[in-house]
Structure 1
Amino acid sequence: MKRTHLPLNGLRVLDAAARHLSFTRAADELAVTPAAVGQQVRALEDTLGVVLFRRTARGLELTAEGEAGLAALRGGFLQFEEAVRAMQAGQSSKALTIAAPRDLTAKWLLPRLAQIAAADGEMRFAVMASDEAVDFTEANLDLALRWGEGPGNLEGEALESDGFVTVGRPSGGAALRIGWPGCPGDDAATPIAVADAGLAIDAAAAGLGRAEVPELLARGDIAAGHVEVIGEPTASRLGYWIVAPLPQWRQRKVQALVDALTA
């Protein structure tokens, strides 16, 4: 069934003017001018084909036609408010669903989520592994972490990093090059190959060789002494990004998590 177009602005003005029986006080409530209130009322009267107010010696007076619709109108506004509260209820929730590459999840994301959850016991996280672009609607995601040159067609914020670093076992270990899909350099020159950069860090920590990996991923292992940096970091146009479509990005709970992850 096709719904009748509702002049919501005019109805809102009618409600305020009927409560105050004053265009001036209604204008103060609505943060507009009395003239704007008068224009809205006249436009509503033209649309409905009825007179809603009369000016008398005692002041502004609501007509019988105006009075007839007020109870239903105010009930409708209350239902609007309830609908808005229902739609916003998820904002008070502290449960978030996040997609991220497996190595980033293990090496960087989970430790930070643990810190966030320790600071706020109401936080709840569902983390799914994803090395490719994901459908936010189908996966019911709040945000995702991705490797790339930017956020693409999504909203996003970069995770700060020093680019790539070469890491190896602190005690020395082999000098062989450890490769992983997407690693810099010539794949043919990697006698040791692993599935991702996180495993490359683990392989370097085990003494199998040296791995050139994103500094962000290796940061925890470097700080813990599992590996050491060999040489200087190398800048890269690629990096990790926190991304989400605009509706998710605007959510307070998502922005709070983005702030916490990028702090």
Structure 2
Amino acid sequence: MKRTHLPLNGLRVLDAAARHLSFTRAADELAVTPAAVGQQIRALEDMLGVVLFRRTPKGLELTPETEAGLDALRSGFLMFEEAVRAMQVGQSSLSLTIAAPRDITAKWLQGQLAIYAQGQTDLHFSLVAADDILDFTEANLDLALRLTDGPGEHEGVRVGTAAFVTVEAPQGGSDRLIDWPGSPEAGEADPFMRVADAGLAIEAAANGFGRATVPLLLASRDIAEGRVAQVGEPVESARGYWLVAPLPQWRQKKVKALVEALKGSEAP
């Protein structure tokens, strides 16, 4: 019999009825009706081609066929329980694997994780550098942080505001354009400098190479510390930073707790 065709519900009913030698008490344990227990047993007998119980004046009796399989059946259910417990270990684990672009990891995420980890000595993080979402299962990811316009196919919540801001060196003095792949101005003009990401664009602006338009969440700490100066007001954008994960990961207690802590953290 193929594993996919194992009549697990029927076997569960068989185990309960065999322990109690009573369809009524088995039904009470399983929170179903005695008639439903009888139907499951008859269906199982039809599938297996054996008689599982005999009715006698004293009540139900197990047939030799049932007795021959009961020990293995109960061992199997114990192994199922062990398998479920093993799969649930990750729920109580305090190890989190997070994928995020390098720039937001360096300029925002690490600082927030340090705050979150205070007093939690058993907490461990693995940070994966990724501009695009990796395969969550293949990479064993719990959570990802993306600059995007929404959660896409996954569950998600935005952190901070979806706004971009233009920054330059504190002393100002140059309106030359610093471009990066996600810049709102990408491709609109001939930039003075092109860099790989918004974090490098902020560094270039801080070093006096010109002005860069970057996500406000990414630049908040540098603005607050005076490393760069803000030019004008932030501009709302369709894109912001989103914490995302498939539903199974999203439901984990450790992921829920981290998301709650991060989603309210906007500025340093």
- TM-score by structure 1 length? 0.85
Q: How far off its partner does 1:129 sit? A: 1.7
The equivalent of 1:179 in structure 2 is: 178
**Equivalent residue letter for 1:179:** I
In structure 1, C-alpha distance between the alignment counterparts of 2:95 and 2:21, rounded to whole Å: 46
1:203-246 per-residue CA deviation (whole Å, 9 max, x = no partner) reads 44455544321111122233434444333221111122223344
* More divergent stretch after superposition (197-206 vs 102-111): 197-206
Correspondence 1:98 to 2:115 = no
SS of alignment partner, residue 6 of structure 2: coil
**Equivalent residue letter for 1:241:** W
In structure 2, C-alpha distance between the alignment counterparts of 1:28 and 1:69, rounded to whole Å: 24
CA contact (8 A) 1:176 1:190 kept: no
CA contact (8 A) 2:178 2:205 kept: no
The equivalent of 2:167 in structure 1 is: 167
CA contact (8 A) 2:167 2:229 kept: yes
Task: Give the 5 Å matches for 1:39-54.
Answer: 39-54=39-54
* More divergent stretch after superposition (10-19 vs 194-203): 194-203
Q: How far off its partner does 1:192 sit? A: 4.6
**Equivalent residue letter for 1:36:** A
The equivalent of 2:231 in structure 1 is: 230
Q: How far off its partner does 1:131 sit? A: 2.2
CA contact (8 A) 1:96 1:124 kept: yes
In structure 1, C-alpha distance between the alignment counterparts of 2:157 and 2:73, rounded to whole Å: 44
The equivalent of 2:108 in structure 1 is: 108
The equivalent of 1:87 in structure 2 is: 87
**Equivalent residue letter for 1:83:** A
The equivalent of 2:243 in structure 1 is: 242
Correspondence 1:140 to 2:140 = yes
In structure 1, C-alpha distance between the alignment counterparts of 2:19 and 2:183, rounded to whole Å: 69
Q: How far off its partner does 1:31 sit? A: 2.0
* More divergent stretch after superposition (217-226 vs 76-85): 217-226
Percentage of pairs with the same residue: 67
Distance change (3 Å), C-alpha of 1:160 and 1:23: farther
In structure 2, C-alpha distance between the alignment counterparts of 1:183 and 1:255, rounded to whole Å: 31
**Equivalent residue letter for 1:174:** G
Q: How far off its partner does 1:108 sit? A: 1.0
SS of alignment partner, residue 18 of structure 1: helix
In structure 2, C-alpha distance between the alignment counterparts of 1:124 and 1:178, rounded to whole Å: 40
The equivalent of 1:219 in structure 2 is: 220
Q: How far off its partner does 1:39 sit? A: 0.8
**Equivalent residue letter for 1:120:** Q
The equivalent of 1:64 in structure 2 is: 64
Correspondence 1:254 to 2:255 = yes
CA contact (8 A) 1:183 1:212 kept: yes
RMSD (Å) for aligned C-alpha atoms: 2.7
1:61-95 per-residue CA deviation (whole Å, 9 max, x = no partner) reads 33333233222211111111122222333333222
**Equivalent residue letter for 2:198:** A
Distance change (3 Å), C-alpha of 1:215 and 1:247: same
1:170-203 per-residue CA deviation (whole Å, 9 max, x = no partner) reads x542242442312122653543544322233334
- The number of residue pairs the alignment matches comes to 262
CA contact (8 A) 1:176 1:192 kept: no
Distance change (3 Å), C-alpha of 1:126 and 1:4: closer
1:136-182 per-residue CA deviation (whole Å, 9 max, x = no partner) reads 3443333322222223333333223141122345x542242442312
Distance change (3 Å), C-alpha of 1:24 and 1:227: farther
The equivalent of 1:20 in structure 2 is: 20
SS of alignment partner, residue 27 of structure 2: helix
In structure 1, C-alpha distance between the alignment counterparts of 2:91 and 2:145, rounded to whole Å: 21
SS of alignment partner, residue 50 of structure 2: coil
In structure 2, C-alpha distance between the alignment counterparts of 1:88 and 1:115, rounded to whole Å: 27
Q: How far off its partner does 1:11 sit? A: 0.8
* More divergent stretch after superposition (109-118 vs 192-201): 192-201
SS of alignment partner, residue 134 of structure 1: coil
In structure 1, C-alpha distance between the alignment counterparts of 2:206 and 2:114, rounded to whole Å: 24
CA contact (8 A) 2:178 2:204 kept: no
In structure 1, C-alpha distance between the alignment counterparts of 2:74 and 2:143, rounded to whole Å: 38
